[in-house]
Structure 1
Amino acid sequence: MSTTANTDPLLDVVRGGVTIYDLGRPLFAGMPQSPNHPAYTHTLPRRHGDKVRPDGGSAANDLILMGTHVGTHIDALAHVSQDGRLHGGADAAEACVAGRYPEHGVHTIAPIVCRGVLLDVPAALGLEGCAPGYEITPADLDETVLRQGVEPASGDVILVRSGWGRHFGDPDREVYIGGESGVPGVGEAGARWLAGRSPHAVGADTIAFEQLAPGQGHSVLPAHRVLLVESGVFIVEAMDLDGLARDGVHEFTFVLSPLAFVGATGSPVRPLALVPAREVSHG
């Protein structure tokens, strides 16, 4: 059987060199997270030397306990309901079967390989980062598209950078969580702007994707309602978008695959942005 691998345009890109941007955050105990989800913990039930094989070999292993919405993660359609209904009008109570969501769980999200677009809002507004609690408006998103010259299209993954990701590694984890200060992001109007572009998914560098007003925490999340419930658009949160912004990369191949937790409402992920090396100019 003959092959024509040398004519594959994807392989041509790989042979020419690819710059890979890791958009996921490292997972570690004590990292900032939403207070609504179980924290990440990691321990070693077996350490080297606990049991040694006759030939001197030894192995260590891990036990990890965490919520599925901790660290960089994707929200499945089962995650949010409105007035007792999930996306498509499904009854939220009836959709849960034996403690799982067979039709709306994260296992139903196929691996994603598509065009990705970064909307670097603070860069377009001439800022280092958006202010705490700032609402990113449709006008801001329009201005960002105009300045970048990259228009989102149907089926894309649209990533909205607020600049808040720079606080993820702050020694005081509450800074990134932003309970008192608030967190910048899109509100309901911005979410409708995004949904109007018919994206496959959206993402942001913040803990809850959307604007959190000062002192209000996660009390209301209208963008989640618009995107997950009304529009069927998946949400990726707590992303690292600073590398793309630093290099002025606004268009790329986006790759993400959730863990197939059957019936779960979300999954940790490690999304990647792939760009032909010749297109990247570090600056």
Structure 2
Amino acid sequence: MTDTGGLPALTGGPQPDLDSGTTALWSALAGARVIDLAQPMRRGMPQSPNHPPFRMVIERRHGDLVRADGGSAANEVIITGGHVGTHVDALAHVSQDGLVHGGRPAGAAQSHEGFAELGIETFDPYVGRAVLLDVAAIHGTAVLPAGYEITPDDLEQAAGHTRIAPGDAVLIGTGWSRRWDEGAAFVGLADGVPGPGVAAARWLAERAPRVVGGETIAFEHLGAGRGHATLPVHRILLVEHGINIVETMNLAPLLDTGAREFLFVLNPLPIVGATGAPVRPLAVLP
């Protein structure tokens, strides 16, 4: 068994008191390798300047309150934006000309208490097939250059003979998670960030995936010095096609395995009315 990304491999085997369907499922998973695709959340981590920063403080320390039997507990307060760290974008996250996905008026659905529809709590947990398109690999590099625009041809080459079926999850490997500890360079305000351009977004949308995702803080090609001035890929995927986006994943350990198809588990926190929420995606490999 292999322990990867802080998560142990699945262990065990069929139990005699399980029905045949459950036994078959457990047999398929026994010995599987689980890879954690989430970046660790900490104060000062790279994030979009459009969102409030992550903060965590210990509110009560051991010894602040001691029970009669000598026991003590510590606890914390966590403050974070819904789009900080590894997270899923809800369909309520982006509007175009005042409308969110399905032509719904954004103003009628939103309030300070959240969105009455299309919030992240409406995202059904995903457990299914994922296809990883390693664009960095087809260019013979571990990390794509800053500001590189991914094209449909890149995606076609990365897919090769692997078929993308409607309802699959599609992840794009740029290698950018290898730069997570580089702070400002990871954010890319000065030099840009690699990601899909408009044509690549339409290529993805044509294949009708359930969800798409990548390693950068915005699932977009960001040119040098451009920042988040416009986000057309978000418009195409979220507003026009209703495809959720996963951002800031740590794909490096998965890319290193060479795996291109795997079981993908995605279940963001169900924060009612929120436009996004943290998630800890898992890749399950044979």
Please, what TM-score do these two structures have when normalized by structure 2? 0.92
1:122-133 to 2 correspondences below 5 Å:
122-133=136-147
Does the 8 Å CA contact 1:6/1:12 hold for their aligned counterparts?
no
Q: Which runs of 4+ in 1 moved over 6 A?
A: none
Return the alpha-carbon distance in structure 2 between the equivalents of residues 3 and 243 of structure 1.
34
1:64-93, CA deviations, whole angstroms, 9 ceiling, x for partnerless residues? 001000000000000000011000000010
Identity score, percent: 51
How many Å apart are 1:256 and its aligned residue? Answer: 1.0
Deviates more, 1:100-109 or 1:64-73: 100-109
Counterpart of 1:14, as a letter, is: L
Tell me what 1:81 maps to: 95
The DSSP-based 3-state class of the residue aligned with 2:109 is: coil
* SS at 1:93 equivalent: helix
Please say if 1:94 is aligned against 2:108: yes
Instruction: State the match for 1:11 in structure 2.
Output: 26
CA offsets 1:97-117 (integer angstroms, 9 cap, x no match):
453212110000011111011
Aligned equivalent of 2:71: 57
Give the length in aligned residue pairs: 270
Aligned residue identity for 1:237: E
1:98–1:134 distance in 2 versus 1, CA, 3 Å: closer
Q: Give 1:6 deviation, angstroms.
A: 7.4
8 Å CA contact 1:188–1:222 kept in 2: the answer is yes
Structure 1 position 120 matched with structure 2 position 130? no
1:8-48 CA deviation, whole Å, 9 max, x = no partner?
32200233x01001000000000000000000001011000
Distance 1:44 1:165, change over 3 A: same
Cα shift at 1:127: 1.9
Q: Which runs of 5+ in 1 are unaligned?
A: 277-283
SS for the counterpart of 1:169 is helix
Q: Does the C-alpha gap of structure 1 residues 76 and 6 become closer, same or farther in structure 2, counting only changes over 3 Å? A: closer
Q: Secondary structure at the match of 2:51?
A: coil
Secondary structure of the residue aligned to 1:142 is: helix
- Offset of residue 272 of structure 1: 0.2
Deviations 1:221-274 (A, max 9, x none): 110000000000000000011111111011001001111110000000000000
Superposition pairs of residues 188-199 of structure 1, within 5 angstroms: 188-199=198-209
2:259 aligned residue (236, 249, 255):
249
- Matching of residue 160 in structure 1 with residue 172 in structure 2: yes
1:263 aligns with 2:273: yes
Would the alpha carbon gap of residues 6 and 220 (structure 1) be closer, same or farther in structure 2, given more than 3 Å must change? closer
In structure 2, what is the equivalent of residue 281 of structure 1? Answer: none
What amino acid maps onto 1:258 in structure 2?
P
**Retained in 2: the 8 A contact 1:20–1:275?**
yes
Matching residue's letter, 1:154: P
SS in 2 for 1:166: helix
- After TM superposition, the structure 1 = structure 2 runs for residues 118-267 of structure 1, keeping only pairs within 5 Å, are 118-146=132-160, 149-170=161-182, 173-267=183-277
Q: Deviations over 1:176-197 (max 9, x none)?
A: 0000100000011111011111
Given residue 13 of structure 1, which amino acid in structure 2 is its aligned partner?
Answer: A
Unmatched tracts of structure 2, length 5 or more:
1-16
In the TM superposition, what is the alpha-carbon distance from 1:4 to its structure 2 partner?
1.4
Q: Which amino acid aligns with 2:58?
A: L
State the distance in 1 between where 2:21 and 2:192 align: 52
Closer/same/farther in 2, CA of residues 89 and 9 from structure 1, 3 Å limit? same
SS of 2:92 mapped into structure 1: coil
TM-score by length of 1: 0.93
